[in-house]
Amino acid sequence: MTVKDLVDRFESSLSASSPAPGPSRSQLTPQPSSRIKVEKDDGAAKNPPPPHPLMMKTMTTPRDDNSRQLTVDIADLGRRNKDSKDSNTHAHQSRNTLSSAPKHKSDQYPPMDSDSDTLVFAPSSEEKYSLIQKHNAKQVTAPHTPVAVTDLFARKAAPLHLPRLDKYLSSLQPPDFLQDDSKWNKNSMFPPMDRLALTGSSLDDLETNSKVPASWRDRKTILGSAVGIVLGVTGSSALATYYSLQGLTNTVQIFALILNTIVPVKGSGVLSGWRQLFLGTIPNIIALNFASTLIQSLVYLIIFFAISSGLLYYFFRSALGCDRYTCIEGLQQTVQEGKRWALLIVTFILTVVYLPLSTMAVHVLVWSEDLWAVPNPYTNATSFPPIVASLGPAEEYRDPLDFCWTTTMKKNEINFAPVVVVLAVVVVLSLTIWFPIALRSVTKHSVPKVDRYTSLGRLRNSVDLDGEYHRLLSRDQNPFAFLYSGYRRGWGTYQSTYLFAKFSTLVIIAVINPDNCLFRSFSRSTISIVRQVLLLISTIGFFLAQCIVAPFLDPVNNASEWTSRLNYVATAIIALLVALDIPGQTIYNVYLLYIIYIFTYGLSIYFTIINLGPVRRMVKRLARRIDFSIDIFSPRLDLSPLSPHIKRRIWQESITALLLTSPECRIPAKQRMVYAQARDSEFPPYLLNFCGTPAERHAENLKILREIGSLKYNKASALLSGPDYEWFRKLESQIQKHFIGPDCYWKSPSETKPEIVGCANFFGNAWWIPFPPTLVLRYDSGSYAVLQEVADLEAYISQNSSHSIRRRRHIRLSLRALDGQVVKWPYEHITPIGSQSPLSWGRRKYTTQSSVHYDHCVLRIKHRGHLSWQGLQLGSGFDIRLTYSKKVDLDGSVIGLNDDFDLTSPLARFFMLNSQLVSSRLAYIESTLASYRRHHRKECHRKSEALTYRFLSHVYDHPREPSGLTASSIELEKDARVRVLMSGSEEVFSAAYTRFSAVSIDETRTWWYIFWDDLWRRNHDTISGLELHAADFNPYYPTSIAYTPLPRAALEAFLTQRGLLSRSPRWGDFFHPGFLNKLYLRLNETVFRGSSRAILFHIGQDHSELDMEDVDLDTLVQPSTLGTGGGTDHDNSSIRARPAYRWEGLLSDPVLRGSRRRRNFLAKLGAWMGVTPLWRSGVPSPGLSLDVRMENGRYVLLDDGSSFGGSRVDSMKLDSL
């Protein structure tokens, strides 16, 4: 049974009933009416101009004097029976006609009661006064007991019976594409969504030209989890005592023993030569069984230190160009392509070995017990200092207690301690100190930047930014992504801080120890107590930091880390009790310690399992949770005719799918979508390595829109299509031909703009971004200047065309021609020779001078930026260095060069001496620069030819009839592929506009569509019934329920037939009576908002009656998240943790029965335990209750319903006044 059959059956059961009220604002028949205005301040009646016949409405309008002007409609609003198709067409036209009118919360006229044909007349002055008094105070009905929303929405709640809503819904006609004579195939998807389904990819996949890897093969997920586990284990104080040289030796020897035991059961005596080599000889060499223990340990230490030093050097060399944003200068990609596995593996190894090697290096510096050349004399000693027998003759052996920082007790043997100590110092300086700092810097420059705007050009709020950051992380293939992918926005560098925190704990254990050379002469018990006290303070500090900061992206990971640090605190407390020798060690050092370990490690295992993707989906099924991406039940949700939600989900999605799935227009399979963009959004993004396809350009347009917003985008688009375009085109052409590349000049002539800090000469490297038209100049000092105003661009051309600047540029070009060349410039280098007296306070007393004469040197230009074109370095920075020898390296002042690049006498002489070399290379420099400018001018032209920048505002953001759209698009676009696609895709535009029109007729249809569309997108992968009956739920199909609002009985039958609803609620049902009560409560608000049939709310124990909008206003002071958003991104069913939206929280808060409610510190307990991804933020509300009552096993509206819906008057009937 289809949706249409259910509607027909339900309508036939109501055929004897009176017609239902018409939809708000769209299906009202114009009637003669009289209209009055009642002024709150003086009560005088005024006659305004007659309203639009389809906009007769009741509303309360705020005035400038903070009073309210009450407008009351008096009309016969009986619904006449008309042809439904004509009525729907008329309604849709009126809705679209009025879509540009100013919006007010009561713009949509609510349908009135249809059970009376009484004529309504204007009230008398006494009645008007009574109405004003009623309106000034919130109305309270007769005494009754409201029903809490938590009871009404419970799984086993009684159904909410709304007969008038059902009558209205049954009167709605299904969309035209469900008619028998429709051209759309009901068994197929709408085009082009059918082509999208065939690709097996989402629109995000096609736009980014990449796919999100599965978690089991995602390298950042695997390595990130491995790093977390290793650091958790190696950073534990329980393992700190094993970080010794002997422990390292034992580990390698255990590996050797394991290899030796891999021998077959049969034929063990028949070992081939190769098997003996790999399982006998090599393991013994690895185990170093031919050496003493101390020498063996030192050899291992040196080997590991050498390996770590080599890895650090590779990391230093490879990580220099890993800034994913600012390293791109000009419009050339400098980041290496590929997955960079070598750098990833090296970083992973260094992160893993950081704690063990750093701790071993500290052991060497303090010369721990493992390095002592004699057995520990302090163990079980009865006296202090211990009395130890002499090792031998005094002339041959050291004193028995003189074993610190020596590898032998014999005086005539070589002491290797200085070598090992120097290596340890190097490791501490490079690995322990420098590596976390470098890792922090690299991570900071690798974290993805979140676009400030949505794909509709609307500003994101903080929760939207977090969600977009999460989405970017899922696709991030940066080699350092495993270091920051687990942390929330703004805390990506936490891993490096975490390394320091872990290391500090291990240092306390390694250094404050009676068994090293620093503290061996102190009391062992005192040192142990001091160590445990410091360790306890340290662990408590880290525990509090975790509680306050909570840096992880997922609450489950925060809870896991919180448990781990609680384990450290508990273990440190027990260790302190042991050090203090508190009685009862058997209890707290055995049983209590085991309980702590079982509890904490058990929770850690639980958190690891619960956070797996399949387990999270299983938990969602067990909890029967239905997720939404927006605050679907909020009255703030934009349900206007041009709602961003339906525009995004229908029209814009269709346009994007059309371009990205077209064989002629789609992005090449191997194309990487990389953009030149600034970390702080100083300039707009620019797609690099453009391959010439329209789909690339569409993706770039969307990227620009998300970066700069719709306001700036439309402003720039108007500039390119306005009357001044030809004049601006000449301006742009002049800049692209002559004034981009290195050696460009800009000094702001405006006094309001401060001069660039640290900029001495105002020269730099400039490049042009075609949209929005922007000139970016990176000064030699490294700072940026961004010019977008036409006046600034004209001033830029004027400055660079002036004689003075051209002369300075020529000097720079001449010096650039000498870059890397041996030039002639005589120089006499004088070196003073003398000695330093102890009383000279560091000054030398010179007695003579040494002079060396040079004729030639190598001139080099040191660049700050990087931009290579045809082998020529064009990056910003112009630091002249003249190298005569390794020890003689001078700056440009020696040839008379100053910051203003003036032609001084020494500089003129320098050019004269090297004039032949300058002239021979200057032509090459100029031709290379011309080639660079010509290349980017052509690329900008190719981009505008492939797809115009106006396509986004003209087609993508403008739903309209396909006939005019095709013709205007062909006129606008120049690329033949786009023209053919637009002319041959009229069916696609027709399908998109038909869908858009069908759901934008009135607010009821709009909300119904958004509800079912979002429910499908976020839950189809966990609710099996949705996937099984995809044609009934997926909005890509014409037969989807999203297009046909159903009365409750019809919806219940629809869901029951598909196994999604049971007559008697069962444990596994996702849909239940309480959920349907919530659905039809919100649907009732879209139909009867402000009328006597609106359901009224109470906040807490307050008796005041409010509609949904008044409740929303009265609870604005509550900290919450506005999740009505600016549209929704493409299909994404992933489960992401976030705070509950405002109305998600309001409709789940229990009614307050006692004192004022306080912040619940356990509000995130469910999110911490992985049971739900949502948590209630801020102070919960006092709870909501509804004006309904129980009757015959179901909830119904109160008989004495108010005529005032909070602040609204809908009608006044003669018999009630």
Does 418 sit behind a cis peptide bond, omega within 30 degrees of 0 on the bond before it? Answer: no
Dist. CA 675–CA 771, nearest whole Å: 13
Residue pair 305/427 in contact (Cβ under 8 Å)? The answer is yes
DSSP element (H, E) containing 225? helix 219-234
- Write out pLDDT tens, residues 1072-1128: 999 999 999 999 999 998 887 888 898 888 888 888 888 888 877 554 456 666 555
pLDDT tops 80 at residue 227: no
Segment 367-387 mean pLDDT: 80
Contact between residue 441 and residue 407 where contact means Cβ atoms under 8 Å apart: no
pLDDT score of 473 more than 90: no
The candidate with the shortest Cα–Cα distance to 300, out of 313, 312, 285, 315, is: 285
For the chain, the C-alpha Rg in angstroms (whole number) is 39
Please choose, from the candidates 1054, 1049, 1040, the residue with its C-alpha nearest in 3D space to the C-alpha of residue 1011: 1040
* Residue 5: per-residue pLDDT: 58
For 1052, how many CA atoms within 13 A lie in the half-sphere containing its CB? 19
Residue for token pair 């008094």:
133
At 874-909, the pLDDT tens digits run 888 899 999 998 888 898 899 999 888 989 999 999
Angle formed at CA 254 by CA 249 and CA 255, multiple of 5 degrees: 100
Model confidence band, residue 17 (pLDDT cutoffs 50, 70, 90): very low
687 membership: H or E segment, kind and range: strand 686-687
Task: From 162, 165, 149, 168, select the one nearest 1075 (Cα to Cα).
Answer: 149
CA distances from 837 to 92, 833, 834, 841, 844 (A): 98, 13, 10, 8, 7
Average pLDDT over residues 181-210: 89
Say which residue the tokens 């255990």 belong to. Answer: 254
SS3 category, 75: strand
Q: Characterize the bridge pairing of strands 844-862 and 741-745.
A: unpaired
- Specify whether the CB–CB gap between 549 and 491 falls below 8 A: yes
**Does 572 have pLDDT greater than 60?**
yes
- Residue 215's φ and ψ, nearest 5 degrees, are -60, -30
In the predicted model, is pLDDT for residue 469 greater than 80? yes
Q: Which residues contact 1045 (CB under 8 A, 6 or more apart)?
A: 169, 172, 1004, 1005, 1008, 1083
- Amino acid identity, residue 1082? R
H-helix or E-strand spanning residue 1052:
helix 1048-1057
Average pLDDT over residues 71-82: 30
Please tell me which residue, 1205 or 441, carries the higher pLDDT value. 441
Q: Residues 729, 734, 736, 740: what is their CA dihedral angle, to the nearest 10 degrees?
A: -140
Q: How high is the pLDDT of residue 787?
A: 93
pLDDT, position 189: 93
Angle at 575 between CA 571 and CA 577, to 5 degrees: 120
Residue with tokens 């396809």: 693
At residue 125, the pLDDT reads 44
Count Cα neighbours of 40 within 13 Å in the Cβ-side half-sphere.
17
Mean pLDDT score, 324-338: 65
Contacts of 12 (CB under 8 A, 6+ apart): none
Is the pLDDT score of 15 beyond 70?
Answer: no
pLDDT in the model for residue 934: 94
Give one word for 87, left, alpha or beta, with left for phi > 0 and alpha for psi -120 to 50.
alpha
Per-residue pLDDT, averaged over 970-981, amounts to: 90
Q: Which of 567, 2, 523 shows the shortest CA–CA distance to 233?
A: 567
Residue 985 has pLDDT above 50, yes or no: yes
pLDDT for res 584: 83
Confidence category of residue 236, pLDDT binned at 50, 70, 90: low
Residue 771: strand, helix, or coil: coil
Strands 741-745 and 686-687: unpaired
Count CB atoms within 10 A of the CB of residue 926: 12
Assign 1130 a pLDDT band (cuts: 50, 70, 90). Answer: low
Q: Write the pLDDT tens digit of every residue in 502-512.
A: 788 778 888 88
Give the SS3 label for residue 557: helix
Mean pLDDT of the chain, nearest integer: 78
For residue 948, which amino acid is it?
A: T
What pTM was computed for the model?
A: 0.79
At 768 the pLDDT is: 94
Which among 8-17, 132-141, 873-882 has the top mean pLDDT? 873-882
Residue 411 has pLDDT above 80, yes or no: yes
Residue 642 has pLDDT above 50, yes or no: yes
Residue 1201 above 50 pLDDT? Answer: no
In the block, residue with structure tokens 């106006």: 950
Verify cis geometry, omega within 30 degrees of 0, for the bond prior to 19. no
